[in-house]
Every structure is written in C-alpha cells, then in structure tokens.
Amino acid sequence: MVNDIAIARNDFPILKEVINGQPLAYLDNAATTQKPQAVIDALVHYYQHDNANIHRGVYTLAERATEQYEAVRQQVATFINAASGAEIVFTRGTTTSLNWVAQTYAPTILQAGDEIVISIMEHHSNLVPWQQVSQRTGAKLRYVELTASGELDLAQYGDLLNARTKIVSLTHVSNVLGTINPIKKMTAMAHTVGATVVIDGAQATGHFPVDVQELDCDFYAFSGHKMYGPTGIGVLYGREALLAAMPPAEFGGEMINLVTRQKTDFKPAPAKFEAGTMPIAQVIGLGAAISYLQHLGWPAIIAQEQQLTAQAYQELTAITGVTIYGPTEPTRRSSVLSFNLQGLHPHDLATVLDLQGVAIRAGHHCAQPLMTDLGVSATARASFAFYNNQADLQQLVTAVQAAKEFFKL
Amino acid sequence: MNLGGLNDLYRQLIIDHAQHPHHHGALPAASQTITLNNPTCGDVIKLAVTFADDRIEQIAFSGEGCSISQASASMMTDLVQGQTLTQAKKEIQVFLEMLMENPAATQDDPDELLGDAAVLAAVIKFPARIKCATLAWKALEQAISEEEAHE
C-alpha cells in the first residue's frame, strides 16, 4: 500500500510545479487540497461531452447530465453512510451549509433565553453564523473550552448542557490544532438534553471515513475542495425529518412544485434547497474525487498522513524555539500542525519558507477567538495530505532551520 | 538554499528596526489614537499621535505584527515626528504609491523623501506582504484626516 501511495503523488500534476526555483512542497492542504488528474478529467469530460442544464430538458443530453448529477448525490450518501440520497443537499461549501442551518433551521427552534453551544476551536464559519442567530433570536451563545492538551473539555461541556440547550454545533477536526473531537460521544451527550447537533466536517471528510449514522449527528457540513474535489461545491447532510422542517434559504427556479400569483409550493428536500442552476460540473468533479479516494482506500491514506504528521511533529519539536499547538498524541490529531518559531512572526516565517518552495499558511486561520485563547496573534500551519512525501517534510524542516539561522534566532 | 531573495526583502536595516523599534509604546495624552488591523493575518497596530500647530508633535505605536509591519511603523514614526501635516501627507502618498502595482508617474523620489522607509520598496516583489508594510501609514493617514475633520 505504501507503494501505491507513493505512486498516487503522480496523479497530481500541480505537484510538479517549481516555485521560486525550488520544487513545490505543498503543505497548505487544510486550506485546499490539490486535484488529481481524474478530477480534472471529469470536469473536462463533462464540458466536452455532457454539458446541459439538469432537471429541465427532455432531450437526451439533459437527461445524461441529470443522471450523472443525481448519481453523485447517491455516491455522497454512500460515502458518509447517510440513510438515503434525499438527505444530501448540494451547497457552495461548508460555509454555506452551516449558514443555511443557522439562518433558516435554527430560528424555527430558538427562542430568547435558549442556548447554543459551540466550541472555542471553531472556524469563523461555524462561529459567526451562530453569533448572528444569537443576536437575532436572543438565544445565548456558550463555549466549550479547551483542556491544556488542546482538546475539548468534556466535563465542562457536560456542565454546559441543559434543557435550554437547543443547538450544539462543533467542528469534527480543528483546522488549527488538528484535534479530532469525540463527536459520537458529544452528540450522544447533546441528545440527552434534546439538542440538535450540527457538525463542521470540513477538515475530516478527506482524511478518514465519516459515518453520519454512527456519529448520530443531525446535520453534517463539508466542502469538496478540501477533499480533492473542485471548489464551489459542498454538502449539507441533514436527517430527512429535519430537512423537511427546514425552510429553503434561496428561492427560484427548479425548487418549486407550483407557483401561482401569490404563493408557491416547494418541492420536497433536497430539491427545495437547490434553487437556480447548480454547479453541475463541480458536483460531477466531487463524484470523481470520492471515487479516487475510495480507489486508494482509507488505510493507506491514514497511514501516510499519520506517519508524516508524527515525524514532522518530532522533527519540528527538535528545533529549539519551535512550539507546536494541539494534542501531542499522533492518533488524537489530524494532519494539521500549527506552530511558532520564537522570535519570528509567522508571516516572516511563511515568506522564508515560500522562497524555499514550501507553501504553508500563516495567520489566525479564521479562528481569532482561539488565537486569543492560545495567547498568540497568529501561528504558522503546515497541513499534510497523503500525496506529501519525505522530500516535502525535509524541505519544511530545512527551511525552518534556515529561517532560524537567517534571523539569528 | 535559496536565501538570495530573502536578503532582498530582509535588509539589515529592516531587521534592526523590527527588533528594536523606535517610538514603540503609548502616548497617554494623544490627540488621536487609531487602531487598524490586517484582517487577513490578524496583525494589529495602535498608532497614537499628538498634534500641535499643524504638526505631528509626538507619535508612538504598539501592537502585534511581523517584521515588515513593525519595521515600517518604526521607520515611519522616525520620519514624521516633528513634521507638518502637509509634509507627512505627502510622504504617506509617496510611500503608498511606491508599493502600488502601477505607480503613478510621480516626480517624487522615495529615496529623498522617505528616509529609511525607502528600503521598503523591496516589498513590492512580495505582493502578499504589501499590506504589512502599508498598515502603519494607513493608520497615520486616518489619524491626520480625523484630526483635520475635528478642527
């Protein structure tokens, strides 16, 4: 399997790019992953052979496009083990998925004095929408805090939950700390007080298998572009009964059953959420990405990412002045490593690394409350995908050492 | 190791200013205090200015930021302290134009006008870092315009 993974790197043409005279070591996979040729080909093939608007035409080409689009809905359902394709809504991405739940579903169950629980490690996309709902409804926004090891404090979470808790919205994997949260357990705890559970799966779905029935969550949001698919396409999973109760966020073509002068009858979910012409090519590209991942198989993907993360953790920690944030135990974290080099701002570090061909992220990672909590203004972040290799890792470590030498730290 | 490009950006003068910034701190009696942040990276600058007789009498800055933003603030405060508002506004304009993609055909020579800050011209080769360099200057621009609106 290790051999298969090493070969799989060749499926990603962009990884052959030369950046600032150096081979590209792409280590910003938590921001977006690169695309395998199979996904690029699927997009090209669609536009060359199958392009037509879906659900509308009676002609053969439109039927072909519709069939492919709906087949991916079924494929996504199988991928996350949803009970049926009717529970899969296509959206623009995780942000849109979370916003729709917050803006249309949440107000139907929230009253002033109710409580929404999120965690301090949330990305702004699973934080700001809840602040907005909280301001609109008078529901109180409460936070699950961190333990010293960068994990969610389950005891304090247990104390937060009460009969007023109507919504619990948590990230599956932290985009800063890499922490993999115990979602199954936390969902069960939330359900004992009758809360609806929303999960941000943006950093999870491309890295390990996700089973929404096993997790037992009520909504699950993720993006195509963070799991080797195209940008502009995401998914909102929702239990059938919840999607039936959730009002559409947008209105227009294709989401209606019957329109009269004064009122409109909507189609059932998921169609009622997919107003207008959807990103059809991107849906088909997402299908190709899922097929690609399934072809590689989770054991090989997980083994490669864990090995790289554990080794990077060890080699970066060995550099005096480097602090890594988040869990120390490799099996409790994903392939995201946030770190700082003492005496050098992460922006300066990222510029130095860029000149060595190493692409990492530097900044607050859209998690400003978490940064405040960690007592830093920003961090550097390297995040691995299965196509990264030893050469990428060594390029990172050598470049951090070079930064240290250059700035005489 | 390709460190040549690094020397272009991080001249010794920039590192010196970043590691030992001038006018770093607060001004309790400031006429204007402007806090600006760079939303893409979370860097913050708090610029405090005391104005007197159409001049910048005292200026100081604090906040969190990278070497480029700290050095730029240090160089700028060196330059403008004691200057007239007209002179400072001219320098802000020349500095911002120096780092624009298509600089306007200006007759002004940054080397003559901007003192140490002229070395920050190198930042133009690092587009992702231009906002770091301009943050302090935009804060001063705002402080002056609020002071003038106030009068």
pLDDT, one tens digit per residue, over A196-232 is 999 999 999 999 999 999 999 999 999 999 999 999 9
Mean predicted lDDT score pLDDT of chain A: 96
- What is the model's pLDDT at position A330? 77
- What is the model's pLDDT at position A1? 41
For A323, A335, A338, B53, the CA distances from A317, given in Å and listed in that order, are 7, 15, 12, 55
The answer, yes or no, to whether residue A51 has pLDDT greater than 80, is: yes
- What is the model's pLDDT at position B1? 55
- The angle at the Cα of A212, spanning A43 to A87, to the nearest 5 degrees, equals 60
What ipTM score was computed for the predicted complex, to two decimals?
0.89
Residues A126-183 pLDDT 10s: 999 999 999 999 999 999 999 999 999 999 999 999 999 999 999 999 999 999 999 9
Domains, in order of start, for chain A: 41-294 (3.40.640.10), 297-404 (3.90.1150.10)
Residues B6-24 pLDDT 10s: 888 899 999 999 999 999 9
Q: Tell me the C-alpha distance between A172 and A222, whole Å.
A: 10
The answer, yes or no, to whether residue A2 has pLDDT greater than 50, is: no
Residues of B in contact with A348 (CB under 8 A): 10, 66-68
Find the domain containing B128 and state its range. Answer: 4-150
Percent of chain A beyond pLDDT 70? 99
Q: Tell me the C-alpha distance between B45 and B65, whole Å.
A: 8
Nearest CA in chain B to A349: B66
- What is the model's pLDDT at position A348? 95
User: Is A363's CB within 8 Å of B68's CB?
Assistant: no
User: Mean pLDDT, to the nearest integer, of A322-346?
Assistant: 93
Structural domains of chain B, count: 1
Nearest residue, CB atoms, B6 vs list A22, A363, A406 = A406
Contact B121, B15 (CB under 8 A): no
User: Mean pLDDT, to the nearest integer, of A241-263?
Assistant: 95
Residues of A in contact with B64 (CB under 8 A): 377-378
Find the helix or strand (DSSP H, E) in which A156 lies.
helix A154-160
CB-based contact, B3 to chain A, within 8 Å = yes
Among A176, A347, A349, A400, pick the best mutation site for testing chain B contact (most B Cβ within 10 A). Answer: A347
- What is the model's pLDDT at position B110? 84
**CATH (domain of B136):** 3.90.1010.10
Contacts of A37 (CB under 8 A, 6+ apart): A11, A12, A13
Catalytic member of A366, A370, A374, A380: A366
User: Is A363's CB within 8 Å of B2's CB?
Assistant: no
- What is the model's pLDDT at position B108? 76
- What is the model's pLDDT at position B84? 97
